[in-house]
Amino acid sequence: MDNTIFDDVFRTMVEKMPELTVPLINEVFDTDYGYEVEMAQLRNEHQDESGEVICDSCLQIGEKLYHIECESTDDTTMAVRMIEYDFRIGVEHAKKEGRKYYIEFPRSCVLYLRDTANTPDYLEAEVLMPEGNICWYRIPTIKMSRYKKEELIAKGLDMLLPFYVMRYEKAGEELEKDEDKRGELLEEYKEIYGHLEKKYKEKESGRHTDMVSLIMRIVEYIFREEKEVRKGIGEIMGGRVLQLESERLREEGREEGREEGREEGIKVLILDNQDEGISEKRIIEKLQKRYALNREQAEVYYRKFSGC
């Protein structure tokens, strides 16, 4: 079974809707960041001699780094993989004092879309250092199966709503045949749609469309054999939506104009911040947050417009 759709949906939200990660970070790490907190998306590709190591997300809020991985199954090697990711992130952002380096690991967690009775609440590893000291690596996990729809909505965990349907994937055949049980599922999606409509449609219509799109991508994958279930949820969510708003605009030939306007906005941001004496690092972070750029893209724009 091809599980890349889950990675695609998760990374789409991280890259195009990074503010949705804030409630998830608050939930996992017991922080209290506001919805509008300034956030920078950092590079998630880390190269070594054997090739690229790609993590799902690496975000910075203030001086803190956050790393969230999304897994569709319980991988027993995940603790080792996470240490590898976190070490590379830590090295990339290491601080140097003379000949001594200070390496801080990011605050990390793993989101399990599916879990079993053996899926741990924490991933753990002991690291034996050459001088005999043992470093204890321990990060939390978050399990979709533990969250009811009401809790996701109450806590603002909209980022997890596209994956909510996965709790029903083993009941697909029953839902297809049993109209009453299918009706109960559809009632849940009426509540989800109502929540999204109330929260986003008036002020952020594009966000409303994008969220519906992502939800339907997962629904259509999970229930690819259940025509009536797909049809019922699709009608509630406003019809079959296959692409994000930005993709639709590109197809209509408007993307070129949008890109020109976007570049002009980037140029104005850079020049205005330079006039105010803002540092290059801070300007690049602002570009990453406001325009959903990775660090390399932001640096290219900075070099292009700096000092114009």
Long-range contacts of 298-301 (CB under 8 A, 24+ apart): 301/263, 301/266, 301/270
Closest CA to 163 of 3, 19, 9, 1: 9
57 touches 106 (CB < 8 A): no
Tell me the per-residue pLDDT of 115-169, one tens digit each, with 9 for 90 and over: 999 999 999 999 999 999 999 999 999 999 999 999 999 999 999 999 999 999 9
Tell me the per-residue pLDDT of 166-204, one tens digit each, with 9 for 90 and over: 999 999 999 999 999 999 999 999 999 999 988 887 666
The reported pTM is: 0.73
In the structure, what pLDDT confidence band is assigned to residue 32 with cuts at 50, 70 and 90? very high
In the structure, what pLDDT confidence band is assigned to residue 278 with cuts at 50, 70 and 90? confident
Helix, strand and coil in the chain, % to nearest 5: 55, 15, 30
* Distance of alpha carbon 201 from alpha carbon 108, whole angstroms: 32
